[in-house]
Structure 1
Amino acid sequence: MVLRALPKLHCMRENPGLSFGPLKSYFLLGKIQNEGQPAGNFINYFFGSTEYNVTNKCNITKDLGSSETIREVYNFKDNSFKFWFIGFLEGKGLFIITKSGDLEFKIVHSSQDAQILFFIKKKLGFGVVRIQDKIKNNHCYKVKDKNGLLKLISIINGNLFLNSNKEQFKLLLTAFNKKYETSIVYSENINKPNTLNTWLCGYTDAIGRFILTINNKPEENISANLSYILIQKNDNYDQIKYLAEILKGKIHSEFDLCNVTVHTTKLSIIIKYLNLYPLKTKKSIVYLNWKKSYLLIKNKKHLTNKELNLLIRYKKNLNRLERII
């Protein structure tokens, strides 16, 4: 059964071209879960302080040799990467429990941008990267062995933000304890995100969208608008509402989804944030074209023909890159 770290992103009416591929159904602890559901959580740690220290409070009573805590087994000290990684996995990660009881963590990503998966493997020091699907042009990073899963749990436990991810992680943790006869205690994260941490960078790398719309109809004034979008399930409405507040965005709920949209006049917060914490995937190229558009139209009421042509070129680049990445 597949426990998605993040909910499936769906097409919004304002962005009908958005596609996330086919869905597959798996038997999931008594209910059906759709594969392909994008991760959709927002960090648990844009803590109000850059000095926030994530501790691994996973107590284990047996089967860890001389060590009694996961923290002693695996103390990952690179907080900047850790927070980025958790944000990324909350956007794209999969917690998998098979009918036979095998456990697996997986991140599926475009083969065009497979370098990010190798980067994750190198930084963490465990897991493997493989071709996931040649037809769909996907690679995956996966962790299946006991020691790798134990290290992964030590990083994740106590650091998840969205309710849906917390519940899914609990299921994996329960299955791990049962399979390996350990007693790892689930740790609740009580911190809220802010823009002083790399979690939002990782989450944006996973599922953030940068949109440029141009109105150049002859009968109307030429105009352009930009937006930054995050989409989540309504299960996480309270967390998404909080994100909308810190990003000065608007929240919209429809069917089983809600989204945060930050429009042109409020984008300075996300621009400053991503200047401080640059994106790590090839989405950085999308962002670069989007940012050029922002600098071009900021505070301008009217666009010249030259500026309009530049925006059209940027928009074509955005559309092309989104299809690839």
Structure 2
Amino acid sequence: MEGLNRAFLKLHYMREHPVFILWSTVYFVSFGKIQNEGQSAGNHMNNLGSSETTREAITLDYKKIFEGWLIGFAEGDGGFSIDKRGYLVFKVTQSSVDAQVLFYIKKELGFGSVTVQSKLNKTHQYRVRDKDNLLKIINIFNGKHIVTVRYVISQKDDVEFSKLLANLIDGYVTHIKSYDGYNTVVNFGKLNKILNYLHNYPLKTKKHVSYLRWLKVYHLVKDKKHLTESGIEIIKDKIKFINK
């Protein structure tokens, strides 16, 4: 079970950020009901109480999912460190192109600062230095910050994680001799789990644009456009721009 939890945490990091479509849907359903004519005050209050309970449950779920994402995201692009003056700092770094993710973290947590880290390298950072807010961050991470290496798609140091991830998404693991690493591979026909996951929890950074471009290629192949010469040319052209 710990291994699966670990895989889920890193999957959170790999897809970057959850957008809670279901949350907003439930929210508007709960508070958008039209009261029937002649409904008693008592019934109205009961419904209100029910709505309040629903709202609290949704808020707690939102917070839990955000914290789970933050742990995985920080394990890839940040963490705790000691600065030059000997003070504890929590920091998450991103390319300046994706600085909006850092502002999102600040907004959700309600504290911290976002600043330019390096004009030369074009990076921004989210940083927490004061004791009270560091304790809040520590309470979120306490007992859950369990991954010691940064994982992307290919793993050089931990084949066990690759196997767990492969099992989670109905894939398999291959060994790449050129750099002595492992790739987690998913067959085309078994991509639904990943697609559903990314549909429910869309990417937040510029990788979302790359994903949407890749998704167009996926649908072209799914529609068997790759079986014609003209279709292959269209696909090749779109592939060139996936990461542009």
TM-score of the aligned structures, taking structure 2 as reference length: 0.66
Partner residue, 2:166: 244
Partner residue, 2:92: 107
Is 2:67 the partner of 1:82?
A: yes
* Structure 2: runs of 5+ lacking an equivalent: 1-5, 12-59
Contact 2:225 2:231 in 1 (8 A): no
* Structure 1: runs of 5+ lacking an equivalent: 1-40, 47-74, 166-202, 209-229, 321-325
Alignment length (residue pairs): 189
Contact 1:76 1:155 in 2 (8 A): no
Partner residue, 2:215: 291
Contact 1:45 1:83 in 2 (8 A): no
Partner residue, 2:243: 319
Instruction: Give the letter for the 2:201 counterpart.
Output: Y
Structure 1 residues 159 and 144: alpha-carbon distance in aligned structure 2, compared to 1, 3 A threshold: same
Answer with 265-274 or 246-255: which moved more.
246-255
RMSD of Structure 2 on Structure 1 (CA): 2.9
Report the secondary structure of 1:160's partner residue: coil
Partner residue, 1:72: none
Alignment of 1:68-217 (within 5 A): 78-98=63-83, 100-162=85-147, 164=148
Alignment of 1:41-60 (within 5 A): 42-44=7-9
1:45 deviates by 9.2
2:191 to 267, 270, 273: 267
The sequence identity of aligned pairs, in percent, is 42
1:111 deviates by 0.7
1:101 deviates by 2.9
TM-score of the aligned structures, taking structure 1 as reference length: 0.51
1:145 deviates by 1.7
- Relative to total residues, which structure has the larger strand share, 1 or 2? 1
Answer with 119-128 or 80-89: which moved more.
80-89
Within 2, Cα distance between the matches of 1:269 and 1:107? 29
Divergent runs of 4+, >6 A:
none
Is 2:154 the partner of 1:231?
A: yes
Within 2, Cα distance between the matches of 1:102 and 1:231? 34
1:256 deviates by 6.8
1:76 deviates by 9.8
Max Rg structure: 2
Report the secondary structure of 1:140's partner residue: strand
Partner residue, 1:168: none
- Relative to total residues, which structure has the larger helix share, 1 or 2? 2
